[in-house]
Amino acid sequence: MLERIHLEILTAIKTQGTLTKAADSLHLSQSALSHSIKKLEGQLGTSIWIKDGRNLRLTPAGERIQTLANRILPQFSHTELLLKQIAKGEMGSLRIGMECHPCYQWLLRVIQPYLEQWPDIDMDVKQKFQFGALGALLSYEIDVLITPDPLFKPKIDYIPVFDYEHKLVVSASHKLAQQDYVLPDQLSEEVLFTYPVEPQRLDIFSQFLTPAKCSVKKHKIIETTEIMLQMVAAGRGICALPGWLVDEYSKTMPIKSIRFGKKGISKQIFVGIRKDEQDIEYLNDFITQAKKTK
């Protein structure tokens, strides 16, 4: 009853809003598009969309089908791409999803030798996902997921590839700079810079401040590592980053890393892959290279 074209039509209606724009995006006539949906509505016995002024709005039934489309259409596209590559004698593609803002420098060290070993592999790195990074992996929008905070699911394998310590970063002239470790209540008057991530997913909150029922004076969002560290070096605030990354930047910037508490915060970078693709050689080699890169 349901066909791929129905999924594509409802996705186009959802994104384009009008019948005209949806038909243009699919290179179909409006009558052909309308006829296809009317036939489906007749088979289902319920409406798929309703008119809302000049626009079309999906009914609950239409929304349910469009939710299915969000999961299924990327898998169609992924398989078609692989088949085209096979037909052309190409090896494949590797779409990497990043859920770790400060991991790009590490990833670059992984990618360079990997591309030399696999010259026929196309590669892309994505950071923005319609339904989150895990959803992108499950729906075949990406092939591997780089994350320090895996959400374990039955269809996904997470392989730890890199251990590191998460540390507080302050300017070299900061009053805490000479301490071996910091306590939660010592940050109560600080301005904290972080990436645009929910506070509950930030280790400085979830593993350090919140359990001690402490917080910071102000929490500000900065999207890029370089700007964040420039602000810290200028004494405008503090941040929390992987220790290995701070070590690199501290060679050229007046910053200092400090352990969170006496025991510190130990972390790992994981590579997530779909379980049904565990035997793909170029995916396994990417994981192998990631494990070798420090």
Burial of 91 (0-12, 13-18, 19+ CB in 10 A): middle
For the chain, the first-to-last Cα distance in angstroms comes to: 52
Contact 255, 229 (CB under 8 A): yes
pLDDT at 89 (0 to 100): 47
Among 267, 265, 102, CA closest to 195: 102
pLDDT at 174: 96
- pLDDT confidence of residue 132: 79
Whole-prediction pTM: 0.67
Exposed/middle/buried for residue 116 (C-beta within 10 Å: 0-12, 13-18, 19+): exposed
What SS3 string covers the chain? Answer: CCCHHHHHHHHHHHHHCCHHHHHHHHCCCHHHHHHHHHHHHHHHCCCCEEEECCEEEECHHHHHHHHHHHHHHHHHHHHHHHHHHHHCCCCEEEEEEECCHHHHHHHHHHHHHHHHHCCCEEEEEECCCCCCHHHHHHCCCCCEEEECCCCCCCCEEEEEEEEEEEEEEEECCCCCCCCCEECHHHHCCCEEEECCCCHHHCHHHHHHHHHHCCCCCEEEECCCHHHHHHHHHCCCCEEEEEHHHHHHHCCCCCEEEEEECCCCEEEEEEEEEEHHHCCCHHHHHHHHHHHHCC
- pLDDT value at position 111? 92
Give the CA angle between residues 255, 127, 249 to the nearest 5°.
15
The pLDDT of residue 79 is 78
**Residue 113: per-residue pLDDT:** 92
Give the contacts of 5 (CB within 8 A, at least 6 positions apart): 36
179, 261 in Cβ contact below 8 A?
no
φ, ψ for residue 287 (rounded to 5)? -65, -40
Sequence letter at residue 283: L
Residues 6+ apart with CB under 8 A from 108: none
Nearest of 252, 100, 105, 229 to residue 171 by alpha carbon? 229
Q: Return per-residue pLDDT of the chain as tens, 294 residues.
A: 788 889 999 888 888 888 889 889 898 898 888 888 888 888 889 998 888 777 888 899 988 998 888 888 888 887 787 777 666 545 577 899 998 888 888 898 899 999 998 887 888 898 876 667 888 898 888 999 999 888 888 899 999 999 999 999 999 999 999 999 999 999 999 999 999 888 888 999 999 999 999 999 999 999 899 999 999 999 999 999 999 999 999 999 999 999 999 999 999 999 999 998 888 888 889 999 999 887
Handedness of CA 229, 233, 238, 242 (dihedral sign): positive
